Amino acid sequence: MMSDNLLEVDNLGVTFNTPEGKVYAVSGVSLGVSKGEALGIVGESGSGKSVTMKSIMGLLPRTAEITGSAVFDGLDVFDLPKGRRKHFYGVDIAMVFQNPMTSLNPVKRIDAQLTEGMRYHDGLSHSAAKEHALELLDLVRIPDPVKRLRQYPHELSGGMRQRVVIAMALANEPALLIADEPTTALDVTVQRDILDLLDDLRRELDMALILITHDLGVVRDRTDTIAVMYGGRLMETAPTAAVFADTAHPYTQALQRSIPDMSTPRGTQLDPIPGSPPDLAFAPTACPFAPRCTYATDECASAIPPFKSTPSSADHSYACFHPCGSAAEPAASV
Amino acid sequence: MLLVVLAVTFLAFASMNFLGDPLVNILGPIADESSGPEFAEIRAEARAEYHLDDPFPVRYARWVGDLTQGDFGRSFKNQQNVRTVIADKLPVTILLMAYAQLLAIAVSIPWALWAASRAYRFVDKASTVVSFGMLGIPVFALVVLLFWLFALYWQIFPTRFDDSGLGPRLWSLTLPAISLAIPLIATYQRLLRTDLISTLQEDFIAVARAKGMSTRHILFRHALRPSMFSMLTVFGIQTGALIGGSLVVEQYFGIPGIGRAVIEAIIRDDFPIVLAVVVIMSVLFVLINFLVDIAYTWLDPRVALND
């Protein structure tokens, strides 16, 4: 992968030590985002997408064991220099969480929550911070910001709250914003607004964005690159267009088939993926998707498929013994 | 609120009147008819002064009526105005109770924050053992132990109450206040720690951490306030228990407070004083719990909307 990336994750592994033994939440994940770029991480629940990002944000519990590396702008994220750590999160990388209903402190007014980050990191005065807070609410398109600042979170709707959470994340102009399923808990009508807002803000502020979602449709028009995760491993990474035009991994293919779009005729049976996600309590020894994969052979159940690039593009990589699309062709000719 | 106070006064007044003949308590042995006709006049006088010939409801109504005007009646024993007795002894008791509560809060909050941010680690488990130990010691044993250690052995604190000014007064109340505070500290620490641990799991704590706020800031500015409900509730209730505790402590340290006065009054069957103390303490208790209810709305602005 290119080394001029803003964030470069290499061979990341996260295991949790639980009373029932180890849980292998993430293994062998390598990702990169360059400045101003949007990366989508797609996967179902338990695929390790959130854990990956939480490890980068330093939000994992003490029971988590992290291996591999994550380098942000030349800094080792897992071993930040002391002076840098104090003003790293919230300044260089910020995060927006899944549920806006619980992301804000219920007993603090919006202004206190919006301004504390800038006051702490930038040492802004009370009035300067307040002014900046107003600008931020404007930026995330909240009407009547003066009034909103004096309100408590419970006086705002879910969509409004997520806008506030986004404004909070933007307070110190981070170079990278991680949005972990930012619309999952919202009404369908509001979801699109929030996603479009994130997209606009990324362009306006020239900020890199990692958008985590379980919905391929969400990242389709809003990202430059997509990474598909399953069972704690990376299945496929590719430029967004290639993911749809030249799908290499059967799991990505299955994901696409299970989601309807506007061209799907009414009454069509969707294609759900049979079976359920893998139990992560065992050290990975096989392709995690093999038990549910229609192309799976004995090989898939006995070895981990290596992560390699397709012949057509160095940016398009996948981990599968029996790929589809153009990746399958050279294999067939052997 | 008013209803609670009324109920307490009624129960107290009724029990004081029906458990034994008030006349006996006022006059002693000569109250009995058989003690001879020479005392009949005194008996009649006492009956008239204390209105003992009126039916019970009338006496109760008169007593409550007097109460509302700040008249607690006269002591059965030395004819002292109960109000003066109370006014003389109440301030030091209230000072002691407030001192104990303040100490308890000042110690338990930092302790709970410290323990909750290290939840389930060794130091937290060790501090749990300590706090259960503090809860387990009864006040009377604690008083003896502390008194012996700090007043007699190390002689840090005076052994007797010193009323020669506010400074000495507070200083000599420190050991009694610590004795009262220790079980409170443990209670508050337990409750607050548990609530803090669950608050620290909340999403908004992760959000604050993702904003890069310091652990200290997160604990004090984000986690503390929403975690204080149980503690505050128990603070109100414990004020009642503290009244009981101060009886023991005042007696032991020779503090001329209301607790000592009431014990002496009970021994001497001096019911007007007992009644006055019961009324004042119940009013105090109700008042503090009313303030606690108000404080809920400060803790969580959402409470105010539910009215």
Kindly state whether A323 is in contact with chain B, defined as any CB-CB distance less than 8 angstroms.
no
Q: pLDDT tens-digit profile of A262-303?
A: 677 777 777 778 777 888 888 888 899 998 898 989 999 889
Phi, psi of A48 (to 5 degrees): 95, 5
Scored b (16 or more CB within 10 A) or e, B263-298 reads bebeeebbbbbbbbbbbbbbbbbbebbeebeebbee
Smallest CA-to-CA distance from A161 within A217, A105, A213 is with A105
Element (DSSP H or E) covering residue B287? helix B271-299
pLDDT band at A100 (very low <50, low <70, confident <90, very high): very high
Q: Is the ipTM of this complex over 0.90?
A: no
My answer on whether B173 and B52 are in the same domain is no
Name chain B contacts of A116, Cβ cutoff 8 Å: 211, 213, 217, 221
Residue B163: inside a domain, yes or no? yes
Q: What is the share, in percent, of chain B residues with pLDDT greater than 70? A: 99
User: Above 80 in pLDDT, residue B156?
Assistant: yes
Task: Report the alpha-carbon distance of residue A108 to residue A124 in Å, rounded.
Answer: 19
A45-99, pLDDT tens digit by residue?
889 999 999 999 999 998 999 999 999 999 999 999 888 888 999 999 999 999 9
Residues B173 and B223 in one domain: yes
Give which of B150, B175, B145 is closest to B254, Cα–Cα.
B175
In a domain, B26, yes or no: yes
| Same domain for B56 and B177 | no
Q: What's the pLDDT at A326?
A: 78
Verify whether the Cβ–Cβ distance A106 to B209 is below 8 Å. Answer: no
Query: Closest Cα of chain B to A133: distance in Å?
Result: 15
Distances from the Cα of B16 to the Cα of A308, B26, B244, angstroms: 91, 12, 19
Q: Which of B207, B222, B299 sits opposite A97 (nearest CB)?
A: B207
On the question of pLDDT at B100 being above 70, the answer is yes
CA-CA distance, A203 to A283, in Å (whole number)?
A: 41
pLDDT band at B240 (very low <50, low <70, confident <90, very high): confident
- A270 three-class SS: coil
Q: Is residue B194 part of a domain?
A: yes
Element (H, E) at A7: strand A7-18
Of A90, A103, A106, the CB nearest to B226: A106
Q: Does residue B59 share a domain with residue B96? A: no
State the pLDDT at residue B95: 93
CA distances from A120 to A214, A282, B204, B260 (A): 34, 43, 17, 53
- The answer to whether B306 contacts chain A (CB < 8 Å) is no
Q: Are B159 and B153 in contact (CB under 8 A)?
A: no
Residues of chain A with Cβ-Cβ distance to B221 below 8 Å are 108, 116
Cross-chain residue pair B210–A94, CB shorter than 8 Å: yes
pLDDT value for A3 = 54
CB contact under 8 A, A105 and B299: no
Mark which of B68, B95, B117 sits at the end of a domain: B68
Residues B61 and B94 in one domain: no
Burial level of A327, CB count in 10 A (0-12/13-18/19+)? buried
Asked whether residue A331 carries a pLDDT value surpassing 70, the answer given is no
Task: Quote the mean pLDDT of chain B.
Answer: 88
Rounded CA-CA distance A177/A172 in Å is 11
Kindly report the average pLDDT of chain A as a whole number. 90
Tell whether B81 is covered by a domain.
no
Pairing mode, strands A21-33 and A307-309:
unpaired
Q: Could you tell me if residue B193 is inside a domain?
A: yes
Q: Do A121 and B212 touch (CB under 8 A)?
A: yes
SS (H, E, C) A64-80: EEEEEEEEECCEEHHHC
Do B59 and B183 have their domain in common?
Answer: no
Contact B225 A107 (CB under 8 A): yes
| Residue-wise pLDDT tens digits, B105-154 | 999 999 999 999 999 999 999 999 999 999 999 888 999 999 999 989 99
Q: How confident is the model at residue A249 (pLDDT cuts 50, 70, 90)?
A: very high
The helix, strand and coil proportions of chain B, stated in percent and rounded to the nearest 5, come to: 80, 0, 20
Binary contact (B209, A107; C-beta < 8 A): no
Beta-carbon contacts of A173 under 8 Å, excluding residues fewer than 6 positions away, are A205, A207
Same domain? B164 vs B260? yes
Minimum distance, in Å, between the CA of residue A85 and any CA atom of chain B: 8
Q: Are residues B19 and B108 in the same domain?
A: no
Distance of CA B301 to the CA centre of its chain: 29
Most confident of the following: B11-15, B226-230, B299-303: B226-230
How far apart are alpha carbons A76 and A9 in whole angstroms? Answer: 10
pTM listed for this prediction: 0.86
Mean pLDDT across B235-257? 89
Residues B64 and B107 in one domain: no
Cβ partners under 8 Å of residue B305, min gap 6: A154
Q: Where are the alpha helices (DSSP H) in chain A?
A: 49-57, 82-85, 100-103, 110-122, 126-139, 145-149, 158-170, 188-205, 216-220, 240-245, 250-257, 298-302, 328-333
Q: What is the mean pLDDT of residues B71-84?
A: 82
- Are B12 and B113 contained in the same domain? no
Asked whether A289 and A248 are in contact (CB, 8 A), the reply is: no
- Cβ distance A97 to B206 less than 8 Å, yes or no, reads yes
| Residue A332 confidence (pLDDT) | 45
Q: Are residues B150 and B221 in the same domain?
A: yes
Per-residue confidence band for B49, with pLDDT thresholds at 50, 70 and 90 = confident
Does residue B78 belong to any structural domain of this protein?
A: no
Angstrom distance (rounded) from CA B180 to CA A158: 47
In sequence order, the β-bridge partners of residue A318 are A236, A308
**pLDDT given for residue A223 in this prediction:** 95
Task: Please tell me if residue A193 touches chain B, with a CB cutoff of 8 Å.
Answer: no
Instruction: Report helix, strand or coil for A284.
Output: coil
Output the CA torsion sign for B261, B265, B270, B276: positive
Domain annotation covers residue B80: no
- Inform me whether the pLDDT recorded for A2 exceeds 60: no
Identify the bridge partners of residue A21 per DSSP, sorted by sequence position.
A18
Domain residues for the domain of B27 are 2-68
Phi, psi of A313 (to 5 degrees): -150, 135
Residue B190 reports pLDDT greater than 60: yes
Q: Which of A90, A97, A152 comes nearest B212 by C-beta?
A: A90
Nearest residue to A31 (alpha-carbon basis) of A67, A6, A64: A6
In sequence order, the 6+-apart residues with CB closer than 8 A to the CB of A58 are A77, A89, B209
DSSP letter (8 states) at residue A150? T
Chain A residue with the nearest C-alpha to that of B227 = A107
Tell me which of A77, A80, A89, A105 to substitute to probe the interface with B (most B C-beta atoms closer than 10 Å): A105
Q: Calculate mean pLDDT across residues B277-290.
A: 89
CB contact under 8 A, B302 and A97: no
How many structural domains are present in chain B? Answer: 2
Nearest to A39 by CA among A265, A255, A209, A244: A209
Same domain, B48 and B111: no
- A104 to chain B, any CB pair closer than 8 A? The answer is yes
B256: CATH: 1.10.3720.10
